[in-house]
Each structure stands twice: as C-alpha cells, then as structure tokens.
Amino acid sequence: MRLHDRVFLLLGGTGGIGKALVDPLVRAGSRVIVASRHPEKIGHREGVSVVHLDLAAADLDQQLLRLSEAYPDIDGVIHCAGQNRFAGLPAMAVSELDAQITVNLRSAMLVARHFTPIFQKSGSGALVFVGSTFGSIGFPGYTAYCATKFGLRGFTEALRRELADTAVQVVYVAPRATATEMNPEEVNELNRALGNSVDTPESVASQILEAMENDDRRRFLGWPEKLFVVLNGVLPRIVDKAMLKQLPIIRRFLNSGVLS
C-alpha cells in the first residue's frame, strides 16, 4: 500500500508505538489524524490533526460516524491502541477485564465495521491492526490480554478473507515486548529475568510501516518469538513445558504485591 497522499486515522497515536508512527507517516507524505482520549498529548505539527475519541465508549459507532463526517477523506486506519494488565486472573478487576476486551477487541471490530463499506465504496482503503506475540502464545499473567489479542488475530484473518476480492487491505502486525509505558517496571524486570528482548517503539513503528508498504497480510516481529508462534501452533506441549520451567520466575513478579 502506498503511504504518500493518504489520510490515516491513527488510534493510539499518543502511545509509545503510535507516537513513533506519526513523523515517519508525515515524512512519507500522509496526513495523520490522531484520535485519543488525550489528544492534547500531541503538540501542533504540520500534517497532523487531533481529535478526541474514547474507544471504550458505548456509543463508539456513533462517534465514528461523526468523525467520518468531519474527515471524509480518511482512506486508512491504523489501530495501535491497547490496554493490558499483568496479573493473575482472580486479581483482575471486572473493570480491567472489560477495558481490555473493549479497547483491544470490540473497538477494532467497530472501527472495521464502520470503515469497510466506506473504503469499498471509494475503491481503496487500508485497515491496519497492531496485535501482539501474545495474540498467538498464551502467557501466564496475561490471560485477558491474550484472549483479546488472539481474538484480534482471528478477527483480522476472517476479515481479510472476507474482503479478499475487494480493494480493502487488512494487515495484522504482532510486536513482541516493546519499551513503552504499557509495561510497568515489574514487567520490565520480568523480561530481564527471562532474558526476553525488548524492542524500541521506533523499530516497531518502522516494521509496521514496512509491513504496510510491502502489502504483508500479517507480520510477526522478533526472533525467536516468531519461531515460538509457529511452534506453539503445531506443538503447544513443547511451549507448555518451556513455560512451566519459567513459571516460578513469572510467579515471583505476579505476586510481587504491586500487580497481583
């Protein structure tokens, strides 16, 4: 897909990865509309507009209608918003479960539902979704997050196949751990204890843009994470065993008191 001469709605553009997408998109010749609950986090920049949007709003479909009226030339959406919480399932508040399902999954469905007919009518359009390695590998302490990201991967796969004979492109990009505010210090410590690599938001953003330009349907980031994604799909017992070995370390951070 081309990046120049395009108008992207960027959801999550105030976050670590989303912010790193803004300047490269503008440099590539796109206009960017950043939608967030805190649009003031994005200062004035040439080629960038900001709008208030709460992806957890019950009336999100109505808000999207109004947004499309204000910006009728949007021809691409990048859904890079998300919420997570690292905690054992019983410690997860119902509101936290709801927030993850609503922002990570329901909003992606509503956004795609809203823009698909618009893009079909105009004859082109791109729907880009940021998933996670945890959308393919279940990880202790991330039950709710994994559920939403597995759901997002399934949703985008079905949607891509549903639209395969149209001009609407659907892309799914799955980063591994990335150094943003999404991960509290306990999770950073857990990643260090497990020897997990952590990417910079800038490198993830450049991979997302590369996936878009190359017309990738899906892209999984990081090695060996992408190998584990395949292994978990075909031989999940091997991954079960590897994680059982890691469980005492994971439990140490799960039960650190701050997050449990």
Ligand X SMILES: NC(=O)c1ccc[n+]([C@@H]2O[C@H](COP(=O)([O-])OP(=O)(O)OC[C@H]3O[C@@H](n4cnc5c(N)ncnc54)[C@H](OP(=O)(O)O)[C@@H]3O)[C@@H](O)[C@H]2O)c1
Q: Determine the interface stretch with ligand X among 15-23, 65-73, 109-117, 158-166 (rule: CB under 6 A).
A: 15-23
Interface of this chain with ligand X, residues 203 to 232, rule: CB under 6 A = none
Structural contact between residues 103 and 18, judged by C-beta atoms closer than 8 angstroms? no
Indicate the residue type of 209.
L
Residue 87 binding ligand X, by CB under 6 A = no
**Residues 9, 64, 67, 80: which binds ligand X (CB under 6 A)?**
80
**Residues 21, 81, 92, 105: which binds ligand X (CB under 6 A)?**
81
Q: Determine the interface stretch with ligand X among 75-83, 86-94, 108-116, 250-258 (rule: CB under 6 A).
A: 75-83
Helix (H) or strand (E) holding 61: helix 60-70
Q: Which is nearer to ligand X, 82 or 125 (CB)?
A: 82
Owner of token pair 């690599």: 197
- For residue 60, CA distances in Å to 40, 74, 111, 179, 204 come to 20, 17, 9, 29, 28
CB of 237 to ligand X, least distance (A): 25
Spatial separation of the C-alpha atoms in residues 29 and 32, rounded to whole Å: 10
Residue 151 binding ligand X, by CB under 6 A = no
Residues in the chain: 260
Interface of this chain with ligand X, residues 40 to 69, rule: CB under 6 A = 41, 53-56
Q: Determine the interface stretch with ligand X among 63-71, 158-166, 175-183, 222-230 (rule: CB under 6 A).
A: 175-183
Spatial CA neighbour of 21 closest among 200, 226, 216, 214:
200
Residue 156 binding ligand X, by CB under 6 A = no
Q: Which is nearer to ligand X, 102 or 169 (CB)?
A: 102
**Three-class DSSP category at 108:** helix
Q: What is the number of helices (H) and of strands (E) in the chain? A: 9, 7
Residue 125 binding ligand X, by CB under 6 A = no
Residue 138 binding ligand X, by CB under 6 A = no
Q: Which is nearer to ligand X, 52 or 241 (CB)?
A: 52
Count of residues in contact with ligand X, rule CB under 6 A: 28
- For residue 28, CA distances in Å to 18, 31, 46, 100 come to 16, 9, 13, 32
Spatial CA neighbour of 250 closest among 193, 197, 196, 199:
193
Residue 136 binding ligand X, by CB under 6 A = no
Q: Which residues bind to ligand X, rule: CB under 6 A?
A: 12, 14-18, 36-38, 41, 53-56, 80-83, 103, 130, 132, 175, 177-178, 180-183
